[in-house]
Copies of this chain bind each other. A is one copy, B any other.
């Protein structure tokens, strides 16, 4: 039975200017988590959120996370947690977002002051944090306010978890979530995260998968110190020579991973899965535009999206210890460390991947018969994540998309990782839905970050509608 959402939707439209005003206030606080000097602004932003939630009637706590590891003079910004409603007859939905932002300065090339929300004639609202992730976070608050002012009963109990360190590794958050899973978050029936983006600009999506990432260092060392190539060239085995030969064995121009065994770990494509790709709103022209070139690997949409989402990839990021500046320097570097990462997908097990990487590089290095020393290490890993797009949490969201935007959402995955997704899934044991508000052109993490007015206002409707549908969706899976 479809809920009657009209009064709520109307109220959102009525309040739209005040919602934009709320976003303006939030963007004005430069809550950059990576910069020590801005820590006070991050804290101020948490305080702003807490006040807004309190004035909406939520029960709010600002929970300290202790000192920042490696920067013991800095207190981590608090996690702002809130409960809105505690009706045992309603379902409880846990939502996550972050109130810190990426660094930004007008000198980076912004067309406008990054901390002054600037709305252009097309309704593009420019400002750091507009789409990542202040807009979506405020979307939940807007939804509460519109229900109150419309006199519509809020359909669920809402639990909020808003952190202030997402752009700097979510320091301390995993432990906090694990600690609170059976305390503050224990009533949660499902989880919703709004911190990613539509695949394009027209059609909303629901995201059910993320690739993982295993990041490796491969170091080759030999001489006791950097050498002059005039004096030693031709007489000493050069670590850089060995390293480029090793790196050349990892992947080819068409992105095929050449490490034996890696591709065998990938789960086969099912017929059901295949069907998800055809309806997706995406074209090769979209990809060429975002890439700024036509140097793509696959000729069609399906294979491109599969390559991004459900197949592994290997990228060589760079080399530490070699000459990297402009100009010419005739150094023979004594120790060089190549950095590469493998994006992982089901059913790749991290330890198995690492074992194959070690075996491959060790065997290739042995072929070189070099006297230099090889050292391969895993710098960090993060697991892939896939949820069932048929879970009731997803089907409720799909109905909300249809209601607000009049289309079926794209069912997408992401090529990158959002580590908190797995943390919530594992800590709560509940389904996690990624329900983005912003579009592919929002330029999160770049200059001129923006959120379109349509995405913000219709997105607020979507979040509210989702709560109505998820409140009554028959529980499946």
Contacts and interface: CB of A to CB of B under 8 A. Distances in A.
Interface in A304-327: 304, 307-308, 311-320, 322-327
B229 A255 contact: no
Contacts of A245: 248, 252-253
Nearest to A326: B320
Nearest to A330: B341
B330 A320 contact: no
A227 B320 contact: no
Nearest to A233: B313
A379 B326 CA distance: 11
Given A228-B416, A230-B415, 19 more contacts: A215-B328, A222-B295, A225-B292, A229-B343, A229-B416, A230-B343, A230-B414, A231-B308, A233-B255, A234-B311, A235-B287, A236-B297, A238-B251, A238-B315, A247-B248, A292-B334, A317-B323, A318-B324, A320-B325
B318 A330 contact: no
A218 to B, nearest CB: 11
Contact of A240 (B291, B315, B330): B315
A316 B244 contact: yes
Contact of A324 (B230, B255, B319): B319
A87 interface: no
A232 B308 contact: yes
Band of interface residues on A: 35 or more
B297 A240 contact: no
A333 B308 contact: no
Interface in A195-224: 211, 213, 215, 222-224
- Copies of this protein in the assembly total 2
Across the A-B interface, give the 5 residue pairs with the lowest CB-CB distance, nearest first.
Answer: A224-B292, A230-B416, A318-B323, A318-B322, A234-B313
Given A228-B416, A232-B415, A379-B328, A237 B253 contact: yes
B238 A316 contact: yes
A474 to B, nearest CB: 34
Contact of A297 (B237, B254, B255): B237
A371 interface: yes
A295 B333 contact: no
17 contacts: A230-B416, A232-B291, A232-B415, A233-B308, A233-B314, A234-B255, A234-B308, A234-B311, A234-B343, A235-B255, A236-B293, A240-B316, A293-B371, A317-B322, A324-B324, A327-B379, A328-B341
A454 interface: no
A299 to B, nearest CB: 11
Contacts of A314: 233
Contacts of A291: 223-224, 227, 232, 236
A127 B414 CA distance: 59
Contact of A319 (B227, B322, B330, B417): B322
A339 interface: yes
Which of A231, A297, A372 is packed against the most chain B CB atoms within 10 Å?
A231
A125 to B, nearest CB: 23
Given A237-B296, A315-B330, A333-B318, A230 B244 contact: no
A341 B230 CA distance: 10
A241 interface: yes
A417 B230 contact: yes
